[in-house]
Amino acid sequence: MLSKDDNELLTRTGPDTPMGKLMRRYWLPAIFSDDLREADGPQVRIRILGEDLIAFRDSSGAVGLLGAHCPHRGVSLYFGRNEGYGLRCPYHGWKFDVTGRCVDMPNEVPGSRLQENLRHTAYPCVERGGLIWTYMGGGAPPPLPNFEWLDLPQTHRHLSMRVQECNWLQALEGEIDSSHAPILHGRVDGRGHGPDTLIGMNDKHPRFEVIETDGGVQIGARRDAGDDYYWRVNQFLMPFWTIVPPGGGGEPDINGHAWVPIDDEHTLCVMYSYHPDRAISERRLKLFNEGARGREPGHMTVNGALPFDPTKPYGKYWPKWNRSNDYGLDWEVHRSRYFLGTAGLWPQDGACQESMGLVSNRTQEHLCSSDIGIGRVRRLLRSAVTALRDSGEAPASVHDPDVYRVRAICIVLPKEVPWLEGIAPHLTASGPIAYEIPGPNSSS
């Protein structure tokens, strides 16, 4: 449970809020490179941390991210002309380059100093890992986070985006709370479970161990597996990143999310899946892109999105299964097949997280022992926000990109081995991924 004040402190991300200022110290994934394919092509609307922005690719191929409203009299630059190394407002022709400099002001008298003194809101962008990243903090940007998937060939990773209609923190908390997975994502007909899910279903109350790391919080969930313990270790990384242990049966890949605030009532869920030393298989890609038997996987598929609505920010990424249709809930499926009979996996998460309200009221909750990771992440966020607000001190993760070079793992360890010792060789991003599940002789 949080006080009303702390709930406000952690959930509000606009420009003048303490959490908004903390988030602006980090590079933020803004949009896919593929959404701005051509130089001088159409611009797109996005919104990050409550700021409406227009993204465009100029004549040189550089990406610009400008405040959406022209500084002259506020017309939307979405209607502008992307031409000659800049974006030109359609109303009176003022033109801005990717740095926000006004490079033409055709309706102003010659000799006026207005043009040279004007700077429009413009955030620096870089492209890496198929994403356009932006830094909204002003001043010199820190290094990009050194996630291992950013260095991999494109064939080794898959990324997707989805807009969720709720505050970023409850979306993030949904992935820190791993005890929900075998319940919410389980089945009631006993079919179709991989061995890792079965272990979770047989032991629904794992013991949690949580430690703070240089980059965030590491959460270990321990389940009994005969003579051994089965550990699933998740990572939370500042300010909104998660990494979850490998899944995927015979073709395990590592997954995670950035839970980027669009504004305080919408979250951009950027999901990544990757394998460090081989391409993602055709079978997995088909699942990510198309789902299976009409159901959505963790990634939003081409079937799960509404038709592109360019009038909205992130207009390609609004889900078809949403609050307006109860996420595709089918009562017969709910009764006889899945624990929650929505149109697949992310609609199960979306239904739960959005049904908490646009901004969850944490003054009313009753946390239990499996929420220990959530509690620790809130404490870390709170201390980071207040340190920046009260003494101008930014977390070390802002300046140390290598804290992001970690993995989530699942592993079987003898009961006498301390978990931190047992997982240590597998945590840094090198070598094969740790994907171990208890053998058939383990009882649980």
Given the rule CB under 5 A, which residues bind Fe ion? 349
Of 59-67, 88-96, 117-125, 372-380, which part binds ligand FES (CB under 6 A)?
88-96
- How many angstroms separate the CA atoms of 167 and 369, rounded? 24
Q: How many residues bind ligand FES (CB under 6 A)?
A: 9
Say which entry of ligand FES, Fe ion, none residue 349 contacts (CB below 5 to 8 A, set by partner kind): Fe ion
- Order the strands of the 44-48 sheet from edge to edge: 44-48, 51-57, 63-67
* 444 CB neighbour count, 10 Å cutoff: 15
* Beta carbon nearer to ligand FES, 25 or 95: 95
Minimum gap (Å) between residue 256 Cβ and Fe ion: 13
Say which entry of Fe ion, ligand FES, none residue 118 contacts (CB below 5 to 8 A, set by partner kind): none
Residue 272: closest CA among 382, 426, 408, 85: 408
Minimum gap (Å) between residue 73 Cβ and ligand FES: 4
Minimum gap (Å) between residue 119 Cβ and ligand FES: 15
Q: Are 419 and 441 in contact (CB under 8 A)?
A: no
Q: Using CA atoms of 218, 224, 226, 229 in order, give the dihedral in degrees to the nearest 10.
A: 10
Say which entry of ligand FES, Fe ion, none residue 95 contacts (CB below 5 to 8 A, set by partner kind): none
- How many angstroms separate the CA atoms of 433 and 437, rounded? 13
Of 91-99, 120-128, 394-402, 430-438, which part binds ligand FES (CB under 6 A)?
91-99
Say which entry of Fe ion, ligand FES, none residue 339 contacts (CB below 5 to 8 A, set by partner kind): none
* Beta carbon nearer to ligand FES, 94 or 288: 94
- Work out whether the CA dihedral 130, 132, 135, 141 comes out positive or negative: positive
- Work out whether the CA dihedral 363, 368, 371, 375 comes out positive or negative: positive
Rg value, the chain, Cα: 23
Contacting residue, 3, 4, 59, 73, with ligand FES by CB under 6 A: 73
Q: Is 95 in the site for ligand FES (CB under 6 A)?
A: no
Separate counts of helices (H) and strands (E) for the chain: 11, 18
Contacting residue, 62, 75, 198, 356, with ligand FES by CB under 6 A: 75
Q: Which residues sit at the interface with ligand FES, rule CB under 6 A?
A: 70, 72-73, 75, 89, 91-94
